[in-house]
């Protein structure tokens, strides 16, 4: 795996605003415009889900709590953490293409980290999703359980692990991103690259009941798929930031500052050469379900 450049990936990342995203992103409306780009949804059948696969990054042995009174190193261009926008989608879902397009339009914007989780419960309609996996479905089901929902559906957009958009238009999504970007972070983050490792300092700004999970997400920047069967037969779809793996690196009580050193692991694990990586700092809810995403860091 080639060395990653954290400084370049994080440079210029700042709070997203509905107006700036609308101006900079073709196909995304201004938040003040009529909300006429509604995204439909389809409820899904029940299905089983599997375990999360191993990853290609690992915590180095020098993981340690940063001594009290020790200043965190200056970050390289990291002025704020991005708002995390998760889309649960499927190639076989007839109402997903508008949501896929909205996420694709945001994928390169500073201040936003979009992640497309392809689920497998629509494969029975005649087109097996080439990016779907049981762990992706498991994550969506866990969100649904945390919210007390009786089932899962596509498309579903979740912002920072907290707010769900169902059938909302692009303007509604931009407004929600803007609202999350202005919230004060619960965890202060600084990060820098040292050789082949990333040194990440986390400092809690308030009590975080239950602590947090530190999760590594691997995703493909983009792929184009010609769909030959099912409800989207004949469509040629562009997908962005497609999640291909996730794992929990660590649990942090979030009572004192923490310094993590994350290194690239073995390269021969079957992930494509252009796979990108991000760290999510996510608070689990009672029962272990995923909750608010308190911080996120792009590693490349």
Radius of gyration of the chain (CA): 19
Predicted local confidence at residue 71, as pLDDT: 44
Tell me how long the chain is.
300
Joined together, the tokens standing for residue 234 give 């004949």
Predicted local confidence at residue 172, as pLDDT: 87
CA distance 243 to 240: 9
Among residues 216, 224, 218, 215, which one has the least CA distance to residue 100?
224
pLDDT digits (tens, 9 = 90+) for 188-199: 998 888 888 888
Predicted local confidence at residue 127, as pLDDT: 94
For the chain, the straight-line distance linking the first and the last C-alpha, in angstroms and rounded, comes to 12
SS3 at position 20? helix
Mean pLDDT of the chain: 77
Give yes or no for a contact between 85 and 99, defined as CB atoms under 8 angstroms apart: no
How many C-beta neighbours within 10 Å does residue 29 have? 21
SS3 at position 135? helix
**Beta-ladder partners of 58:** 263
Give the mean model confidence (pLDDT) for residues 252-277: 82
pLDDT digits (tens, 9 = 90+) for 69-98: 444 433 333 335 799 999 999 999 999 999
Joined together, the tokens standing for residue 198 give 């990333």
Map tokens 């999703």 to a residue. Answer: 129
| b/e map 155-179, b = 16+ CB within 10 Å | bbbbbbbbebbeebbbbbbbbbbbe
**Beta-ladder partners of 263:** 58, 197
Q: pLDDT at residue 32 above 60?
A: no
Give the confidence band of 52 by pLDDT, cuts at 50, 70, 90: very low
**Beta-ladder partners of 237:** 225
| b/e map 50-60, b = 16+ CB within 10 Å | eebeebbbbee
H or E element that contains 146: helix 134-147
Give the confidence band of 269 by pLDDT, cuts at 50, 70, 90: low
Pick the residue with more confidence: 199 or 65?
A: 199
How many C-beta neighbours within 10 Å does residue 269 have? 14
By mean pLDDT, which of 36-45, 105-114, 143-152, 288-297 is the weakest?
36-45
By mean pLDDT, which of 23-27, 195-199, 204-208, 275-279 is the weakest?
23-27
By mean pLDDT, which of 38-52, 89-103, 118-132, 133-147 is the weakest?
38-52
Q: pLDDT at residue 142 above 90?
A: yes
With helix as H, strand as E and coil as C, how does 96-109 read? CHHHHHHHHHHCCC
């Amino acid at each position: 795996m080639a060395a990653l450049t954290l400084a370049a990936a994080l440079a210029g990342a700042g709070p997203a605003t509905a107006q700036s995203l609308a101006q900079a992103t073709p196909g995304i409306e201004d938040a003040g415009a009529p909300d006429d780009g509604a995204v439909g949804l389809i409820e899904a059948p029940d299905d089983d889900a599997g375990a999360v696969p191993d990853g290609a990054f690992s915590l180095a042995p020098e993981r340690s709590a940063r001594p009290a009174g020790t200043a965190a190193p200056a970050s390289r261009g990291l002025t704020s953490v991005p708002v995390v926008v998760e889309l649960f989608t499927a190639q076989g879902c007839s109402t997903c293409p508008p949501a896929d397009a909205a996420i694709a339009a945001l994928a390169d914007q500073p201040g936003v980290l979009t992640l497309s989780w392809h689920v497998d419960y629509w494969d029975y309609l005649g087109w097996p999703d080439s990016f779907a996996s049981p762990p992706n479905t498991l994550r969506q089901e866990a969100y649904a359980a945390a919210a007390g929902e009786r089932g899962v559906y596509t498309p579903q957009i979740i912002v920072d692990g907290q707010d769900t958009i169902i059938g909302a238009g692009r303007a509604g999504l931009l407004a929600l991103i803007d609202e999350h970007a202005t919230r004060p972070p619960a965890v202060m983050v600084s990060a820098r690259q040292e050789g082949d490792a990333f040194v990440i300092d986390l400092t809690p700004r308030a009590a975080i009941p239950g602590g947090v999970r530190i999760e590594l997400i691997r995703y493909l920047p983009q792929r184009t798929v010609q769909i030959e069967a099912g409800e989207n037969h004949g469509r040629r779809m562009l997908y962005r930031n497609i999640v291909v793996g996730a794992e929990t690196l660590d649990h942090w009580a979030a009572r004192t500052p923490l310094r993590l050193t994350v290194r690239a692991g073995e390269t021969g694990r079957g992930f494509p050469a252009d796979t990108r990586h991000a760290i999510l700092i996510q608070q689990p809810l009672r029962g272990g379900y995923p909750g608010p995403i308190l911080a996120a860091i792009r590693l490349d």
